[in-house]
Structure 1
């Protein structure tokens, strides 16, 4: 929270933003008062983005926190349902986002959040368990989880782009402090802590059933939609981004430093079948040009994919088979919950660092490698519980916190590097497109997690795995 407070404090000292000038004679009298009203302070916008980050990812994290309640032996199935639709949205986003307004996308996301909580809650009650077969009940719950995935993926891809757009409207410099993007990222980090706290508060502390806890969560989509509308109201007061028109750039002009991606990710790369430079607007690109643009974002997508694949394999696989003692179901559930809390705390801290430092590209690539080492160490410790001194709460909870630091740092630095490396007029498109790396990584991790869980269950003599260990 100190990082968020620092960012807000710096904003209050920055220059004030004035509304775009309007010809009073061209505006109807009944609308003149609204047009000439003072602009909302910019710090309202960054706080709202922080709230949107929290609310957008809260439903996703709540479903992760309830994963073992939804399906004890198939935790990774819940994780898969919680990411599949999100991945499909992000894969297809480059081809339709510019044709659908932010308002319509976020309205669909809000409706999906309501449907998600409703389906999982109504099928988690005792009545549902006694009146339907277990497979039918699980199917309905997984459908509810999938709706939550649709909401979080659609919301994240849209709000990342919107945050980058607001930062761009705030300043024409790609080296601006990126307050909106950092606050949104920080909010998504806090969503992890909030989601597990929500489950612990109502389900563990007060002893309420999961269904009741999810019905209480219906307050979240209300806040989600209200906060988004507030953001759009403030964003409309910011001056538009000034970019060069296509006709103003000579055909033989060399690409400027701002109009190309960093290093070998140049939008005007000489090996491109068709040049896609600052002369081609996003809305004028063909499907092939959009696809090629996304492929050229690989220096940012690959680190996101790798870090998410390794850390979610930890969550959906390794951490489900650790407990003190390991053969006690409640002890395993307790470790799963608190290790995720520690992980989410690390994510929150590192995702809040976007205004402080932007990692060079080699460090962005180093962090996923360290996370893979983390996965290997946790898997070794979990399979040698009785023989290694590392199998103790202090070491493993600290390791979970460290995993969160790595994952969150890779997330925010991938997006801040995009804002630093890519021309301003392409940042919205690049931010929403790059987010597919996260979802692809989680899908791979959740499939891998099924088999990691099965192998560790077999090693530790535990029952409940829904697949066979292939080793």
Structure 2
């Protein structure tokens, strides 16, 4: 029996729609997965460098002067108030603060983020990402084989350049995809912190040297290249951008679920002319998101002052972990908090990001006063505070970019998502500059015994 022509056409349409829906879901999953992996790879080398900072600087010590947990207090005799008294320095100090590594890890990143908003959109995404892959690989190899601190810092700086260019580029690229790629990107960057710190702590605890551990991480640039060129379904806006010219009509890929607002966005961006904004409009966009950028910067000032100025001095000599292990696990717990909060924006969304800045400042005050008065009785309390610090930092980051992705008009969104990445780098740079003299001051401090 022959099926009526109208029913046959309806069945064909249903099959086509079903196939189209499955294809759209598959593309959406690929893109979400790709952005997670790209976030992971982009920040992984950065995290590894910071996790290794204490060990890299520790190699500068002469073996005979390396303090043990038992003999770490330096005892001197000083004349105080007319009497000779024993004095101690209650800190197990490296010759240089780990903030030295932080400066090498963030200043190139800051410079590239300051420059990128004004010209990077004229460079093809493929070229930018390829450059990131090469820089990460070169940085890891140089740090692994460097015999001097100067060469190590150059290697760290190469990885930093890759991280800065990558963060700007990938967040800008999120303009052309489902808004959920912002949350998966942020989750991936949080995962870089957690898995980077864990892998470094685990491999070094298992007996691998710090520099050989860094060499193992060459898998990361390979994974980044695979995620971008093989997993991501790249859209015409990305593929057809050539040197000095943006295509006039930008197309979105299929979305998993198209809301009315998203359909309007798609229409407006497809009808828009070339998306390279004049500098006057870029300045106006920056002003419009300052209320988000400033709290994020304050969060990172407090956060990284703790991480690279105070962590290495928070030593509990009677704990079961030696000093290096304590420092490594502070990093692991901090990155755990960052990963959890950066993955949470679709569950908990907070618009008042200034709250995170106030709470992080309070956290910094607690850590700072601990180094003066040693009133925290157990390392477990510090572990909880470190975890909380990471939760605050991650939440501030993901909520900031999620708000921008949702609220900035679509024709300005590519710039608006990329430019504010400079906030965290400025905050980290200020923190590092403060941390270096703070480290020196604490390590020169003497207390009457």
Which TM-score bucket, shorter chain as reference? 0.7 to 0.9
**CA distance 1:305–1:17, change in 2 (3 Å):** farther
1:371 equivalent in alignment to 2:360 = yes
Q: Equivalent residue for 2:372?
A: 383
Q: Equivalent residue for 1:454?
A: 440
Match of 2:177, SS?
helix
Residues 300-336 of structure 1 deviation map (CA, whole Å, 9 limit, x = unaligned) = 110111111110000111111011118x9x7332222
1:77 equivalent in alignment to 2:78 = no
Distance 1:460 1:311 in 2: 27
Task: Tell me which stretches of 4 or more aligned residues in structure 1 moved more than 6 Å.
Answer: none
8 Å Cα contact 1:339-1:397 kept in structure 2: yes
Distance 1:225 1:373 in 2: 40
8 Å Cα contact 2:30-2:233 kept in structure 1: no
Indicate the RMSD between aligned Cα atoms, in angstroms. 2.6
Match of 2:114, SS?
helix
Q: Equivalent residue for 2:253?
A: 238
1:113 equivalent in alignment to 2:136 = yes
Residues 70-94 of structure 1 deviation map (CA, whole Å, 9 limit, x = unaligned) = 2242311100010111111111121
**CA distance 1:378–1:282, change in 2 (3 Å):** same
8 Å Cα contact 1:349-1:405 kept in structure 2: yes
**CA distance 1:197–1:304, change in 2 (3 Å):** same
**CA distance 1:368–1:17, change in 2 (3 Å):** farther
Residues 417-469 of structure 1 deviation map (CA, whole Å, 9 limit, x = unaligned) = 112221122222111101100100000001111122223323477xxxxxxxx
TM score, norm. by length of structure 2 = 0.77
8 Å Cα contact 1:358-1:417 kept in structure 2: no
Match of 2:353, SS?
helix
Distance 1:358 1:203 in 2: 37
8 Å Cα contact 1:323-1:334 kept in structure 2: no
Name the structure, 1 or 2, with higher relative contact order (CA <8 Å, separation 6+): 2
Match of 1:283, SS?
coil
8 Å Cα contact 1:345-1:401 kept in structure 2: yes
Distance 1:99 1:394 in 2: 50
Residues 141-198 of structure 1 deviation map (CA, whole Å, 9 limit, x = unaligned) = 000000010011111111112224212xxxxxxxxxx321101100110111111122
1:90 equivalent in alignment to 2:89 = no
Distance 1:17 1:391 in 2: 62
Query: How many angstroms does 1:119 deviate by?
Result: 0.7
Q: Equivalent residue for 2:85?
A: none
Q: Equivalent residue for 2:54?
A: 68
Q: Equivalent residue for 1:334?
A: 325
TM score, norm. by length of structure 1 = 0.73
Query: How many angstroms does 1:110 deviate by?
Result: 0.4
Residues 210-236 of structure 1 deviation map (CA, whole Å, 9 limit, x = unaligned) = 221122111111111110113443545
Distance 2:44 2:381 in 1: 28
1:156 equivalent in alignment to 2:170 = no
8 Å Cα contact 2:35-2:185 kept in structure 1: yes
List runs of 5+ in structure 1 lacking aligned partners.
1-14, 20-36, 129-136, 168-177, 249-278, 462-471
8 Å Cα contact 1:53-1:185 kept in structure 2: yes
